[in-house]
Amino acid sequence: QVQLVESGGGLVQAGGSLKLSCAASRLTFSTYTMTWFRQAPGKEREFVAGHSGIGGSTDYADSMKGRFTIARDDAKMMFYLQMNSLKPEDTAVYYCAARHQIEVKTAAREYRYWGQGTQVTVSS
């Protein structure tokens, strides 16, 4: 069974930075699209950014472009989210997700595998 484990969340002041990590196991990592989603209280799960793996195609939600950057290390089976210029509205639980197709999808229903999430709280 595919396992995804997020880490790196925490409390940060507005304008600060955090780097989230997602450690994957039990999958042929390079053949999976890896994506970050987030979910704030009372809101639906929201696409953040994804990386298709082979081919290197990436996609970002418009509100994250220029502030967030994703990267993956296929040899280490790691997926990262660097978040800069954080805002209070970025407060959410951030999830790592994987799908066994080489295409980034923005809908959460397209992803079969999920981590447990890591809390990011941005104070004003």
Cβ neighbors of 120 (< 8 A, separation 6 or more) are 9, 10, 12, 18, 20, 38, 83, 86, 90, 91, 92, 93, 94
Say how many residues make up the chain.
Answer: 124
Residue 117 pLDDT: 98
Cβ pair 93, 118 in contact under 8 A: yes
What is the residue type of 108? Answer: A
Per residue of the chain (124 residues), give pLDDT as tens: 999 999 999 999 999 999 999 999 999 999 999 999 999 999 999 999 999 987 779 999 999 999 999 999 999 999 999 999 999 999 999 999 999 999 999 999 999 999 999 999 999 9
Cβ pair 45, 108 in contact under 8 A: yes
Cβ pair 98, 34 in contact under 8 A: yes
